[in-house]
Structure 1
């Protein structure tokens, strides 16, 4: 439910963890060194584009100079400028704090802020850029601070400052502290034995892939290997202690396992491999709670052969501590943090062993740590067997990424997709995009807007036009072809995700037929690269967060709303007859506990969660109910209408759940995205990045929101005619309900 801008040396015996020596401490946090006009002093670097960075020896907090960040005169397609300093995460601790002095002038339509980002091997772990502070206007020198949990899996720390939109920002005298002390005085981080295993850095050495036959028996046995490997990864205490690089352990066991001639030999290979992890010294008295929402599916352990079941069962019952090298939970939330997972980003097309690792890594993360696994509604073990040959025999980068995308789609989670731009997939699906925005209205792809007004009008298409065929293919056929590669919690969201990808091609034009006012017409429309067509151009598109509709109806658009605006807006809202909250967007600030309490006369539960138990992988239990509000005789007493649709996802859905707890709130509109819960990030070999919903979100009575979404009390959908006429039919219905019509 959260984010903003996004980017050994000697052999040791197993079980030894060494102190890692910190890197150079000459980080130039006060901008006093290497002052060159119009350039960032080393080791600072530029993020964003178009902004001017320069030392300023006149305007400074103290010392010789500060750093000035100046916006460009023309802001077209320029979003932000940031000075960032990369620091090694060579230190250990629980909390990290960035302090720095800032002065800014004429900052408008954006904000100024300090920035801190903490990355692990698997990607970004923590981030804050003070966007929620809404620092604008003009402010003299003042010290600001950011505090974040300091993850044990941190690999790199980025600190700095950024300016969004027009204005000038000066920064000076940065300090970085860990647990309240200068970071260079913090205890050094440990190096684990797993991090010193370099044997397969050059490749997996597995004889698999294109050119090697893979029988059905081999695919089934490899799926069984992946299941056992993942079980050991998340259950064995020696792995939890960081003693083993489980990526490379897969390659070690896979080679003789693949060479084995029969099941007996394969079991012997597994048995020998298990021996290297050492004996289980202590069993856990913990039992799976009877009221667990999800319980692990481990019945297969007893069917894993003649000699293996007792050994695997002892691993299942092993005592485990709260610390695990590969898995943790985010503080205060509980969603899984997948730690120390190497993305192998340098491998655009990983070899067959690493592709198999990709499948096994993802499959087991879902198996043990996805709170909505039962809602996949298919045999997850069968999915593993199905995808083994697809990953192993993928002949090139495109086939590998398509296999990964198809696997992610099977999870049925709107938070799950293959993130980032991938040139190979762009070439497969089409590198050029039409400048018109489509949405599925009445089950048909309809033009609703332009991504680029000038280019969009040149197509001749208008809002309300219905696309019938694309390059000779009917829309139904295209949907069927794209659906296996289009993640989404429900079919409505799959169509929403698919819409901007219908009119794309590697050619410069697309031949279409479309229907306007009942008449089918033909057209050849031009398509353009991403540099000219931004398919996110209309995201959260509104010119204001608040307005009055007529004299007595207040309108809030959370996509532009900030909590800091509420004191000024509350008196106007309080005088209104009715309030419309247009949640067809993603909130730009977390409104639940700021705006929400003004709607309720007393505290009321509105949600409860399920979280995983990392000592017992696969178990999910309830948290206490979450309540909103307090005794409030001055609560808002007018009618409140919350409008939702397929653009309402995650935080939008959670906020709607909270507001709907109020007695005078009516939710109208159509199916939401059906993906709720803070996201957890996943990386896979080849630098692939994806996410899942990391906690389960339910109503207090246990009703589900995932896949179903927020069900409106009054269903109102746009019509094709309404789009053609430029009407907002859900908004019209909201006004009618407020006025009692």
Structure 2
């Protein structure tokens, strides 16, 4: 076979292979160029260059040698170590070539004045296939329930999907010293011989760690017929939380039904049930109501085929791997990336290659490189290389997959050298978490967060208070210690530091819209539960000092209002935060006959968005969610987006009276999906304040060293096509709580809606 020019000679060959869209000319992707690279030290230039090339190679280089190297974390750590040995600019190119040549031998580095590199392409492409990356949203090279990545004409990259787990938890305090038992009916359908195992799961916890963990490891469920199993633990005196549920491992499926949690006094068999929601999985829901799904690599659904009891049971199975292209568009041989890395140094990389039956072409002439063995603790954040590696992966995930840089206007390239410098100075995991939190802050993503793996090194608790920023002051809105701190108290200082200053420090570690950050900046005064905090308080004209110890778990008391309540003879109230759809259905005829209905969505819905159908008069097919179809790096997305919506149909009975929705910054994500319909289709007045301004499925993944990172992986717009991100759904009747109203125990937002001061919007 003869190797030809860089240009693709003809398009019809690829069309005959049904491999998707193609172009008659090569496309060179030129990302934003670095500013004043010479202002950085040689080490810093090397780290910045390595970071950028790492992202290009990991998620966009099509060659088999990169894909088959299943050691990206080790490579990031080892590569960071190489770059730290670069002490002058002449060493940069050899260091990069030594690091990347084994992973991407078609990646070339060249200097100004040198001949432009090229990747030789076969002149005869008969029988060859195109290999190129496709990412459906933030796939990050993997597969989950929505976001996916694959290389054309290669099997999807999926590791062992791990445990498909679904759980709930209860407060352990009422059951301390008692026996606790989890019972349930399980069955397993095997896909491969003796491969799939089912388990009950019972975890008694304190201070975020397991005291007693039972999960049927020695005797997992393998039978295909329904059988009832049980596991039992003792609730320790220090226990704070009991987590329970089921999980599976393997390629088949697990069925679960009729779960029961029960307790008995020590030494007694007098069992009594602990009430848990949706124990028999009988609630129809978009999600499995009441349960937390603990895997992105599994499907959880309600199975109506031969349940153990009732009309349906829970089923869990690993996600099926995608077959064929994720979408039509993809890079073509001849499409290249040409990037300036430093003052005179460039990188040149193909985005698509041809492949024969053996491998991508041209083939690697030497054996694939393996990184040197690293110490057993090579993922400790005490190691500078590990901190750099975590920063490199985090920055690249946003750089190539975050869909909102067009509206947040952050110079992400400028963030990279600052991030790397801060990572080098971080002393431990907690310090590295703060470094990455500041990075995520710059992305302005309310879903953005950085989590520590495992239990924190030091005990941690929070004040037994809920604090809101009202009229610019830190006001207590709920309290578990009313004898010391009352609702309506203004907290002026904590340990001598003004709460405004504490909130500013906290804000720098938070991401999202101003209203969302303001909500979370109210979590002040956390720390060691053994050390009391001194609070300076204003209570009317009085100035007080009290001491409170943070508590490891501070559940706020439930709001006293009923789920569904008649406020006046012709006005009804529905709390969408606490009321499942099954309970709402029982009241639909009453709501439809009412002159007015107030829906409370100052928080997260209870999987009850079906209520929107009872407000519609005609079907809707608005597309407001958009998943990017990614074929090129640096958010150069010529393939565009895949649009979708809920496509709701009207349902009877129709709620035709006047309608108001209460909302505020606590309404985020799914809540904003609901409020988007209210705003876009004018389904009622919106009373309160703007929602959080963050919506779209979250992408979570692990970083070198064990920290976890999350961000929004799709773009969500308002129903009229305008921006939602960072703005939120805006009220038609703006109402903010006041300090006086909080002190008096009034719900001022509800009061305004109830009075009906503004006529309802026509529907």
What range is the shorter-chain TM-score in? 0.5 to 0.7
Partner of 2:730, secondary structure, is coil
Partner of 1:581: 599
2:497 to 473, 491, 494: 473
CA displacement at 1:308 relative to structure 2: 3.6
Q: 1:479 to 1:634 in 2, by over 3 A?
A: closer
2:618 pairs with 602, 605, 620, which one?
A: 602
2:573 to 537, 541, 555: 555
Give distance in 2, aligned partners of 1:492 and 1:610: 24
Please name the residue that 1:615 is paired with. Answer: 631
Residue correspondence of structure 1 range 625-636 to structure 2 within 5 A: 626=645, 628-630=647-649, 635-636=654-655
Aligned residue-pair number: 525
TM-fit CA distance, 1:395: 2.6
1:419 counterpart = 2:448: no
1:112 to 267, 273, 279: 279
Structure-1-length-normalised TM-score: 0.60
Range with greater deviation from structure 2 (13-22 or 658-667): 13-22
1:520-539 pair list within 5 angstroms: 520-530=542-552, 533-534=553-554, 536-537=555-556
Residue of structure 2 equivalent to 1:723: 742
Any idea what the Cα deviations from partners look like across 1:172-220, whole Å, max 9, x if unmatched?
xxxxxxx9xxxxxxxxxxxxxxxxxxxxxxxxxxxxxxxxxxxxxxxxx
CA contact (8 A) 1:608 1:700 kept: yes
Counterparts in 2 of 1:76 and 1:449: CA distance versus 1, 3 Å: farther
CA 1:634/1:739 → structure 2, altered by over 3 Å: closer, same or farther? farther
Alignment of 1:273-288 (within 5 A): 284=332
Out of 19, 41, 49, the position equivalent to 2:204 is 49
Q: Determine the C-alpha separation between the residues in 2 that align with 1:581 and 1:107.
A: 30
2:466 corresponds in structure 1 to 437
User: Does 1:301 pair with 2:339?
Assistant: yes
Gaps of 5+ in 2: 1-67, 72-101, 105-153, 162-179, 185-196, 206-211, 217-222, 261-271, 282-287, 357-375
- Give how far 1:509 is off: 2.1
Q: What is the CA-CA distance between 1:690 and the residue it aligns to?
A: 2.5
* 1:728 to partner: Cα distance: 0.2
Q: Distance in 2 between matches of 1:72 and 1:694?
A: 42
Cα distance change of structure 1 residues 140 and 127 upon mapping to structure 2, 3 Å threshold: closer
Instruction: State the 1:286 CA deviation.
Output: 11
Does 2:410 match 1:410?
A: no
* TM-score, normalised via structure 2 length: 0.59
Q: Cα offset for 1:376?
A: 3.3
Matches within 5 A, 1:480-499: 480-485=504-509, 487-499=510-522
Query: Which of 531, 554, 563 lines up with 1:508 in the alignment?
Result: 531
For residues 729 and 706 of structure 2, the distance between their equivalents in structure 1, rounded to whole angstroms, comes to 34
> Could you tell me whether the CA contact under 8 Å between 1:599 and 1:659 is conserved in 2?
no
The SS at the match of 1:111 is: coil
Partner of 1:667: 686
Write 1 or 2 for the structure with the bigger share of helix. 1
Q: 1:377 aligns with which of 409, 412, 420?
A: 409
Q: In the superposition, relative to structure 1, how do residues 101 and 463 fare at CA in structure 2: closer, same or farther (>3 Å)?
A: closer
Given that 1:355 and 1:400 are in contact with CA atoms closer than 8 Å, whether structure 2 keeps it comes out as yes
Matches within 5 A, 1:642-721: 642-721=661-740
Q: 1:17 to 1:735 in 2, by over 3 A?
A: closer
Alpha-carbon offset, residue 102 of structure 1: 4.1
Aligned to 1:449: 478
Cα deviation per residue 1:346-384 (whole Å; 9 max; x = unaligned)? 945252222111111111110111111233322111100
Go from structure 1 to structure 2 and tell me whether the alpha carbon gap of 1:378 and 1:547 turns closer, same or farther (over 3 Å shift).
same
Aligned-partner SS, 2:477: strand
**1:623–1:666 Cα change, 3 Å:** farther
Report SS of the residue matched to 1:660. Answer: helix
Taking the aligned partners of 1:412 and 1:18, their CA distance within structure 2 comes to: 32
Cα offset for 1:126? 3.7
| CA distance in structure 2 between the partners assigned to 1:10 and 1:625 by the alignment | 34
Q: Distance in 1 between matches of 2:340 and 2:492?
A: 55
Query: Following the alignment from structure 2 to structure 1, what is the Cα–Cα distance between the partners of residues 259 and 337?
Result: 62
Instruction: Indicate if the aligned counterparts of 1:52 and 1:70 stay in contact, CA closer than 8 A.
Output: no
Separation of aligned partners in 1, 2:298 and 2:466: 33
The root-mean-square deviation of aligned C-alpha atoms, in Å, is 4.9
Distance, in Å, in 1 between the alignment partners of 2:280 and 2:670 is 23
Distance 1:720 1:464 in 2: 6
CA 1:74–1:623 in 2, change beyond 3 Å: closer, same or farther? same
Cα distance in 2 for residues equivalent to 1:79 and 1:580 = 35
Offset at 1:49? 3.4
**Counterparts of 1:47-86 in structure 2 under 5 Å?**
47-49=202-204, 66-68=228-230, 82=244, 84=246, 86=248
Displacement after TM superposition at 1:301 (Å)? 1.6
**Contact 2:410/2:443 (CA < 8 Å) preserved in 1?**
no
Among residues 319, 323, 347, which one is paired with 1:150 in the alignment? Answer: 319
Q: Alpha-carbon deviation of 1:435?
A: 1.3
- Contact 2:677–2:719, Cα closer than 8 Å, also in 1: no
Q: CA deviation at 1:661?
A: 3.7
Residue 257 (structure 1) aligns with? none
Query: For 1:500-538, what per-residue CA distance to the aligned partner results, in whole angstroms no more than 9, with x for missing partners?
Result: 234546762222222222x241313221331xx42x535
* Offset of residue 305 of structure 1: 6.6
The CA deviation string for residues 295-352 of structure 1, in whole angstroms up to 9 with x for no partner, is xxx997256676745x23xx2465899xxxxxxxxxxxxxxxxxxxxxx999452522
Report the counterpart of residue 545 of structure 1 in structure 2.
563
How big is the shift at 1:409? Answer: 1.9
